[in-house]
Chain A
Amino acid sequence: MTAALVKPATDDVWRWLEDVPDPEIPVISVVDLGIVRDVEWKGEVLVVTVTPTYSGCPATAVISMEIEEAVRRRGVEDVRIETQISPAWTTDWITDAAKEKLRAYGIAPPSGASCAGMIKAPAEVECPRCGSPDTSEISRFGSTPCKASWRCNACLEPFDYFKSF
């Protein structure tokens, strides 16, 4: 009789979430970013499991709200967002297609191994504008916890680098 009786397939929910943008980097979705870990029905409740990028990232709360809203908009009343911290999020979970979207947006995508070891050599980072590998780090941090500030020595443009993490 009513739409609420029909439970959408989880595949459909995944597709909806592909349209939920990251609030700080709107060219990629929360699915692209690899932070949606699971979508499942627990009885009548749709449970979406997310993992934070950085433990203090202020975007996490906004992302949960946007996911809830995207699902409610399509008629799912009972939705619960669960947070899972292990396994810890890594930039390896960012899809290849999303890495290209980042580059086109002017953010150099993560390069090299994501393993956070002690005192590792800086990764080789290509300028997202001119493609030159001749770049240098300005600061280990940037406008969001996930980025660092870099500069291209060839075209002289400053740019954001999405840190391997």
Chain B
Amino acid sequence: MAGDTDKLVCELALRMGDNALILGQRVSAWCGHAPVLEEDIALANVALDLIGQTKLWLGLAAELGAGDNADDVAFLRDARGFRNSLLVEQPNGDYGHTLMRQFLFDAWHYPMLQGLKESADIRIAEIAEKSAKEAAYHLERSSDFVVRLGDGSDESHDRMQAALNALYPFAGELTAPDETDEALAAAGLAPDLNVLRQQYDDYVSRIFAEATLTVPEGAVRKGGKAGLHTEEMGYILADMQWLQRAYPGATW
């Protein structure tokens, strides 16, 4: 029985950690390239928070048998082993795409972490408590930007709408429970995603209305939780893992 719980906790830690890792990797690529200095600094800080959280989650996954340590879990798995949502692996695109991806993620991340603070597993609850404070700040910022640019100039509105049209199909996966999510909720280890989806939809609809943006229709695209990724994932991992793969055990 304890073995089953550990397996569930490990899977949750991989999902949370991989989402933070892959988004952190994507966002950090803006470092030195953002449109203005303040934004460059802001994105680097968001990426840093996400990588910090990754260390905590993947450290927990490693304790439960996913690898020797957090670094090995991050650098030595192939794409099929990653459990992040398809949303976070989508390309940075223009600045509107980057901000929209962040918003669609943050709007899930913050309430998810709030729910995980109540987890029956103390290790999950502690990591969630630490991360939720950072996620709250990220959500404030990305919500502000979606409103400011969506309800901004014609150009910024069109770009934000294009970003929403491209990325929204990937957002649904975050709040669509699979068997693992259902087992996690039943064991009191994680919040019920069906409840969370309601909160998510209410919140993003309110922000999109304020931002004068229209939510597109269409099917949800998913697969990441089962390790089935888009072609983007291979490129991300090639970039992120090549050093550890080419020079195993290399350190600073």
Contacts and interface: CB of A to CB of B under 8 A. Distances in A.
A57 B52 contact: yes
B56 interface: yes
Contact of B129 (A87, A139, A142): A87
Contacts of A141: 38, 41-42, 45-46
Interface stretch (A7-15, A40-48, A97-105, A114-122): A114-122
Contact of A117 (B41, B52, B136): B136
A110 interface: no
A145 B132 CA distance: 15
Contacts of A87: 129
Contacts of B110: 118
Interface string A51-62: 010111110000
Interface string B219-244: 00000000000000000000000000
Contacts of A2: none
Interface residues of A, number: 25
A147 to B, nearest CB: 9
Contacts of A85: 56, 126-127, 129-130
Contacts of A86: 125-126, 129-130
B130 A88 contact: yes
B61 interface: no
B40 to A, nearest CB: 10
A57 B139 CA distance: 19
A88 B130 CA distance: 5
B137 A140 contact: yes
B20 to A, nearest CB: 10
Nearest to A119: B140
Main secondary structure of the interface of B (DSSP, over half): helix
A88 B129 contact: yes
B109 to A, nearest CB: 12
Contact of A55 (B39, B55, B143): B55
Nearest to B48: A56
A163 B141 CA distance: 14
Most buried by A among B38, B45, B137: B45
Contact of B136 (A54, A116, A143): A116
Contacts of A111: none
Contacts of B51: 56
A55 B140 CA distance: 18
Interface string A118-150: 111000000000000000001111110100010
A78 B82 CA distance: 40
A122 to B, nearest CB: 10
A79 to B, nearest CB: 22
B134 interface: yes
B53 A56 contact: yes
A85 B129 CA distance: 8
B137 A55 contact: no
Interface in A69-119: 85-88, 116-119
Contacts of B134: 54-55
Contacts of B126: 85-86
B72 interface: no
A159 interface: no
A117 B111 CA distance: 11
**Smallest CB-CB A-B distances: 10 pairs:** A56-B52, A55-B52, A139-B38, A56-B48, A86-B126, A116-B136, A141-B42, A116-B133, A141-B45, A85-B130
